[in-house]
Amino acid sequence: MEAARRADVSNFIYSSTNKVYGDNVDKLPLMELDKEYRYKTTYGIDEGFSIDRCEHTPYGCSKLAADLYVQDYGHLYGIKTGVFRMSAIYGPNQFGVEDQGWVAWFAIATLLGKPITIYGDGKQVRDTLYVEDLIKAYDAFLKSKVKNGVYNIGGGIKNKTSLLQLIDLLEKLTGKRSEFNYADWRPADQKVYISDTHKIKHELGWEPTTSLKEGLIKLIRWIEANKRIFK
């Protein structure tokens, strides 16, 4: 941000993460739903949700520190800054691995016949967002009159899925199913995270247009066309 300030950069977008909210998310009143989902919630997480007194993990701490730097530099030095706290982003050209990019990793593993490790019970829920919808949100911010914005961004309630549900959906779309095994929960792994996107819809007129099924089909086609680079 200091380099951006000295170079007189006028627009800056930061890709933050839902991990800034740490395990505070799991302190919400949640209800058991059924065998498919571990929990349900009737609302998503908005931008005013607490980031304090919770376990973020080092990854979440580093993202949160940068998140706050971007906000401060924007307000102090007049830079147009957009902070996007992203949920599960996926799409073509994403080289997902076990540690990051889980939607893409599950698709890659399914098509290549690689095993998948489920950390926890596999019923944890995320809202997914296709990458082209994310880029449209960035573009909408850059073209807007909003000077400094902080947005939770994901596919919302309509595009939520558990890990186990995604494996089932991939099987329906590809006719293949990876073997998977269970391992211990990862530290501070949120049981449920769904983005409340009301703010970004109100300020930028943005909302996701690509369903999870549609996005997965595009991702699958890209992986199938480029299998050689994954071996």
Q: DSSP of 184-205, one letter per residue?
A: PPPTT--SEE-B--HHHHHHH-
Residue 53 to residue 36: CA distance in whole angstroms: 31
Q: Tell me the percentage of the chain whose pLDDT exceeds 70.
A: 94
Rg (CA), the chain: 18
Determine which helix (DSSP H) or strand (DSSP E) holds 14, and give its type and residue range: strand 11-17
Residue 148 is predicted with a pLDDT of 98
pLDDT for residue 212 is more than 90: yes
pLDDT at 85 exceeding the cut of 60: yes
Higher per-residue confidence, 220 vs 191:
220
Q: Write down the mean pLDDT value for the chain.
A: 92
What's the half-sphere exposure (Cβ side, CA atoms, 13 Å) at 217?
6
pTM value > 0.95: no
Give yes or no for residue 35 having a pLDDT over 60: no
Q: Which amino acid is at 87?
A: S
Q: What is the DSSP letter of 142?
A: H
Report pLDDT for 231: 73
Residue 118 has pLDDT above 80, yes or no: yes
pLDDT confidence tier of residue 33, bands split at 50, 70 and 90: very low
Answer for the pair 140, 206: CB distance below 8 angstroms, yes or no. Answer: yes
What pLDDT is stored for residue 31 in this prediction?
A: 43
pLDDT of residue 191: 87
**Taking residues 112-135, what's their average pLDDT?**
95
In the set 14, 37, 39, 59, the catalytic residue is 59
Structure confidence by residue, pLDDT tens digits, 151-204: 999 999 899 999 999 999 999 999 999 999 999 999 888 888 999 999 999 999
Nearest to 192 by CA among 29, 59, 1, 61: 29
Q: Three-state DSSP class for 143?
A: helix
Inform me whether the pLDDT recorded for 40 exceeds 70. no
Query: Would you kindly state where each structural domain of the chain is located, as residue ranges?
Result: 11-230
User: Which residues, including other chains, have CB under 8 Å from residue 81's CB and lie 6 or more apart?
Assistant: 12, 13, 14, 70, 71, 73, 74, 148, 149
Among this protein's residues, is 59 annotated catalytic? yes
Q: Please say whether the beta carbons of 47 and 199 come within 8 A.
A: yes
Res. 4: pLDDT tops 90: yes
CATH architecture entry for 11-230: 3-Layer(aba) Sandwich (3.40)
Top-confidence range, 65-69, 97-101, 159-163? 65-69
